[in-house]
Each structure stands twice: as C-alpha cells, then as structure tokens.
Amino acid sequence: MKIKGKLLYKDLTKFKIEKVVICSLDQSLYQALLIDNDDEHLIWESNSKPLKTRSLMKMQELFDELEVGELVLRQESAYDEMVGLNVKGSNRMEVRLSKKPYQT
C-alpha cells in the first residue's frame, strides 16, 4: 500500500495492515502508528487530531475488527536523560499484544 498524506482511522478498513504500534507516551496516553514497508505513519482521528486514547484496552478495541498482522505496544524511556546520564542508544521495547483485547 502506498500512503500519501494523513492516514485517517476511518480509512484503515481499505488496507491489509502489516503492523500497528501502540506507543505509550505518558502514564496513560497512547497513540497509534501503522507500519508499512518499514515506514511509520501516524494514524489520525480527524484531519486535525491524532488518534489517541487514555486506555491501552480502548486502543486495542479500535483495532479489534480490522485485519491487522501484528499489534505491539512500544515503550521508550527518557529516564537516563532525565537523571543526567548519557544516552547510550535506544532503549525502545516492543511487546506483542493480543489482537483480541478480551479473550474468551
């Protein structure tokens, strides 16, 4: 798929999605990225508002009915930088999530 411009959530049904990354930004703030051929695309709720939630489960629910190959949670910490240590590289962590937020 070739993505041009903003990627709106409502348009995701048109695509077979390789990977969605839910980014944990702050204690309980999550945004979503779509990965396509190693390119990251922010998913937008509207033309002026990025898709975000205050609950990981709510974000998972948004992708429950879509055809998603892989769903992961990404966490990056600025701890070293905050306590005055040199940043030695990425501390990015990704954890695979279930595509069904409520298992039966």
* Residue, of 21 and 104, whose pLDDT is higher: 21
Q: CATH number, domain at 17?
A: 3.30.420
Domain count, the chain: 1
**DSSP letter, residue 50:** E
94: in domain: no
Percentage of the chain modeled with pLDDT above 70: 83
- The pair phi, psi for residue 32, each rounded to 5°, is -120, 140
Beta strands in 1-104 (DSSP E): 7-8, 17-26, 29-36, 39-46, 49-50, 52-53, 68-75, 93-96
Instruction: Give pLDDT tens digits for 2-43.
Output: 777 899 999 999 888 999 999 998 878 999 999 988 899 999
25: in domain: yes
CB 58 within 8 A of CB 102: no
Instruction: Give pLDDT tens digits for 84-102.
Output: 666 666 777 889 998 776 6
For residue 47, the enclosing domain spans: 7-88
Residue 80 has pLDDT above 90, yes or no: no
* Confidence (pTM): 0.82
95: in domain: no
